[in-house]
């Protein structure tokens, strides 16, 4: 029997499955100092994005040697010191397959919001304003979507965008994909210059340096839109604000932030921004798939 800590929530069906297998499952969030003590008692920790499993947490777990596996219910493992944990014999796993469709759909939702002023129109009409003439949007059909990163999520979004008759181009560090001839691989500079909508689907640089900074905004087509449902660190927020205020880009959809909850109020309150609180994987269906994948990981690794 394993003692499993679930810190940031998990699909109830998956929790029941684990209990049915004879494991003890504790669902509770702990602040960092308390987690340092609690972690000593568990064999498995399951986290999402809120809990940070840094070196000091891992060192505390090593005092008893109970902890064998850390699972991130989601794709990114930025909140876990993966290299250090694995160097100490603690496995780290994530669930990369489960949330691709959900994140792609949210990205598309931001695209629609920006193209048709849905977000700001919602706000102003509730304020008693009838700004019909101000909200002349654009159609997605015929527009170019540039994907920076062409992994699972990027490919899911490409399929959905193609169904909307968008032209899809992409850039990926691994080069052209051999199995997707319907989409065009281009250089990053070409993508920035030609895209009406640019969507990021990359894990971010190890040194936390942005993928999109002032130099990249300068290369973008005037009036383009930027979507970030990847990592907060991949976009320079100061450069983004400058590009929005100058009119260089027409708007941005943001689901992730360098600091969460975000403290940059000027950005999140900007009239050209569509914002969500890191909910890319927050669908009932995705959470069920994540839960099922977590159960499989525990079966395979313990």
Q: Which of 231, 237, 270, 293 is catalytic?
A: 231
Enumerate residues 6+ apart whose C-beta is below 8 A from 255.
106, 110, 228, 229, 275, 276, 277, 278, 279, 280
Co-location of 269 and 155 in the same domain: yes
Co-location of 156 and 239 in the same domain: yes
Co-location of 262 and 209 in the same domain: yes
Co-location of 150 and 15 in the same domain: no
Q: What's residue 137's pLDDT?
A: 97
Co-location of 52 and 198 in the same domain: no
231 flagged as catalytic: yes
Co-location of 243 and 110 in the same domain: yes
23 flagged as catalytic: no
Co-location of 174 and 249 in the same domain: yes
Q: Which of 24, 165, 260, 266 is catalytic?
A: 260
Q: What's residue 184's pLDDT?
A: 98
Number of structural domains in the chain: 2
Co-location of 228 and 295 in the same domain: no
Co-location of 13 and 64 in the same domain: yes
260 flagged as catalytic: yes
Co-location of 157 and 215 in the same domain: yes
Co-location of 47 and 123 in the same domain: no
- Kindly report the CATH number assigned to the domain that includes residue 151: 3.40.50.720
The tens place of each residue's pLDDT in the chain, 302 residues long, gives 999 999 999 999 999 999 999 999 999 999 999 999 999 999 999 999 899 999 999 999 999 999 999 999 998 898 999 999 999 999 999 998 899 999 999 999 999 999 999 999 999 999 999 999 999 999 999 999 999 999 999 999 999 999 999 999 999 999 999 999 999 999 999 999 999 999 999 988 777 799 999 999 999 999 999 999 999 999 999 999 999 999 999 999 999 999 999 999 999 999 999 999 999 999 999 999 999 999 999 999 88
Task: State which residues form the domain around 30.
Answer: 3-96+283-301
Q: Which of 110, 152, 278, 289 is catalytic?
A: 278
Co-location of 11 and 91 in the same domain: yes
pTM attached to this predicted model: 0.91
């Amino acid at each position: 029997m394993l003692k499993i800590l679930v810190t940031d929530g998990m699909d109830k069906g998956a929790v029941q499955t684990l209990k049915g297998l004879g494991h003890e499952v504790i669902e509770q969030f702990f602040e960092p100092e308390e987690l340092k003590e609690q972690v000593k008692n568990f064999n498995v920790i399951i986290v999402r994005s809120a809990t940070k499993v840094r070196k000091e947490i891992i060192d505390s777990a090593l005092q008893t040697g109970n902890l064998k596996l850390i699972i991130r219910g989601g794709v990114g493992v930025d909140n876990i010191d993966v290299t250090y944990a694995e160097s100490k014999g603690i496995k780290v796993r994530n669930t990369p397959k489960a949330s691709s469709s959900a994140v792609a759909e949210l990205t598309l939702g931001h695209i629609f919001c920006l193209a048709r002023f849905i977000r700001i129109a919602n706000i102003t009409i509730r304020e008693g304003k009838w700004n019909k003439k101000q909200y002349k949007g654009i159609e997605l059909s015929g527009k170019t979507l540039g994907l920076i990163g062409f992994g699972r999520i990027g490919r899911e979004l490409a399929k959905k965008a193609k169904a909307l008759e968008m032209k899809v181009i992409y850039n990926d560090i691994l080069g052209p994909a051999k199995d997707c001839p319907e989409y065009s691989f281009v250089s990053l500079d070409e993508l920035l210059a030609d895209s009406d909508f640019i969507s990021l689907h990359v894990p971010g640089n190890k040194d936390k340096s942005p993928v999109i900074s002032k130099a990249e905004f300068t290369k973008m087509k005037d009036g383009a839109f930027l979507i970030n449902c990847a990592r907060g660190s991949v976009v320079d927020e100061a450069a983004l604000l400058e590009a929005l205020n100058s009119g260089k880009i027409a708007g941005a959809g943001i689901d992730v932030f360098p600091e969460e909850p975000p403290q940059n109020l000027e950005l999140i309150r900007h009239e050209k921004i569509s914002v969500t609180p890191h909910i890319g994987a927050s669908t009932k269906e995705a959470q069920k798939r994540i839960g099922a994948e977590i159960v499989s990981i525990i079966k395979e690794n313990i």
